[in-house]
Amino acid sequence: MHILFPNMRPITVKIILFVSSFALLGLVFTQTLWIREEIILGRKQFDHRADNALTDVVNELRDYSDNASRFHSRIMSFKPTGKSGNVMDVMDTALLRVLVKKYTDYHRLGNQYYYAIYKSANDSMVYQSACFPVNGVSSTPYKACLSSICKNAYYHLALYFPYKNKAVFFEQGVWLGLTFLFLTIITFGVAVIIITYLQQKKLTEMKNDFINNITHEFKTPVSTIALASEVLMNSDTKSQPERVKRYANIIHDENERMRQHVERVLEVAQQDFRKIKLNPAQLDVHKLLQNVIPGLCMEKSEQEVRVHSRLEASDPMVFADQMYVAGIITNITENAIKYSDGVPELEVVTADQQEGILISFIDKGIGMSRESQKHIFDKFYRVPTGYVHNVKGFGLGLYYAKTMIEAHGGSISVTSELNKGSRFDVYLPRNIQKFNN
């Protein structure tokens, strides 16, 4: 059925896509939980290392106070423990800075930190490190008691890490990055498969619709020709010349109808394999509109089509291929007639545009949805007509019009509203020589 899933039934394809999507969602969910747990574990490990760093700092300070520091020969400024109640009387701040730096590096805590000494009784700060924020630090501090340093009052050393979450995240950066990368690749792959399947499904539906329409379009004239031929074969051609002529005309008309269908399909198909060759000449757009639209309205509609013209362009001359521009006008007008509920009504307006002319076709037909407007110029696409079941065609008219307009260096756009009608704006440049080189 589909190129993406050859030799598979549609229900099997749908089950595969559903299971794949469900598995992808499950994978994303489990990986999200795993990432969350990893971040939580990373925070706990960071907390543990920060507590160990503080413990090591306090122990080192105690070693100094006992005159047993391993760094005693290097730093001799530590003050012996006295009876004063102020910890700053016995604290060497230079030594404190060295020890905090030493153990934050040893426990891989990074360089973004602040520390301070607080009096435990009223939580008042008695000392703070250099560059300590004026308004304090919003993060929760890690604390260690300094009772082994100052025994006459209770103080604690606080260590702040304002970018703790960032540090934890970067510690897990490699694994998180790989996880996000592979999840993105898998998600992108499954999304491409689903989108491709939906596109192929749509193309298959359009292909089937095209085949059904072309079968119907050819079946009617073939049946008519067969019936007319049978009548002719069973008729006395000499005694009933008028009847013979009438049925011969029927055969001729139906044969011409089939020929036009074949030519249209072949012409659109050939556009994919060759560059469109234009034979441009000076063309009066107003005269062409006045010549093509009235005859087309009489031919394509059993009812009288109400056509209102406002040909307001001051210069209707363009350098274009008359045959193709007539085809553009024909296809858009025919589209407006086909998709009208009741008496067809069409307004044709022209206006001057920079270096060109704008032709607007405004109808009061059944209109179309926003989704249909996105695909209206696609090959073989036909707007779902709801309760209107007699709309014929191959879905090639507007595709043909867009292709020919672009070959002239112009553009086409559509605005529409359901049950209110549609407006097609066609822009044609006055000179297309540069587009036909």
196 against 414, higher pLDDT: 414
Q: For residue 379, is pLDDT > 70?
A: yes
Q: What is the pLDDT of residue 411?
A: 92
Average pLDDT (409-436) is 82
Computed on alpha carbons and rounded to an integer, the radius of gyration of the chain in Å comes to 42
260 pLDDT band (50/70/90 cuts)?
low
359 against 86, higher pLDDT: 359
Q: What is the pLDDT of residue 434?
A: 46
Percent of the chain whose pLDDT exceeds 90: 8
Percent of the chain whose pLDDT exceeds 70: 76
pLDDT digits (tens, 9 = 90+) for 120-147: 888 888 888 888 887 777 778 898 888 8
Q: Is 363 exposed, middle or buried (0-12, 13-18, 19+ CB in 10 A)?
A: buried
Q: For residue 230, is pLDDT > 90?
A: no
In 3-state terms the chain splits into helix, strand, coil percentages (rounded to 5) of: 50, 15, 35
pLDDT mean across residues, the chain: 77
Tokens describing residue 54 = 């503080």
Q: What is the pLDDT of residue 276?
A: 66
108 pLDDT band (50/70/90 cuts)?
confident
395 against 334, higher pLDDT: 334
Q: For residue 71, is pLDDT > 50?
A: no
How far apart CA 213 and CA 220 sit, in angstroms, is: 11
Q: What is the pLDDT of residue 270?
A: 56
How far apart CA 63 and CA 53 sit, in angstroms, is: 15
Q: For residue 392, is pLDDT > 60?
A: no
Q: For residue 427, is pLDDT > 90?
A: yes
- Could you tell me which residues come within 8 angstroms of residue 107 by beta carbon, excluding any fewer than 6 positions away? 49, 50, 52, 53, 56
**How distant is the alpha carbon of residue 86 from its chain centre?**
67
Tokens describing residue 195 = 């989108």
How far apart CA 113 and CA 131 sit, in angstroms, is: 10
The DSSP symbol for 304 reads P
Average pLDDT (282-306) is 79
H or E element at residue 184: helix 173-233
- In angstroms, the Cα distances linking 294 to 298, 307, 351 are 6, 8, 20
**How distant is the alpha carbon of residue 382 from its chain centre?**
23
How far apart CA 289 and CA 278 sit, in angstroms, is: 20
Measured CA angle at 390 (ends 384, 393), to 5 deg: 70
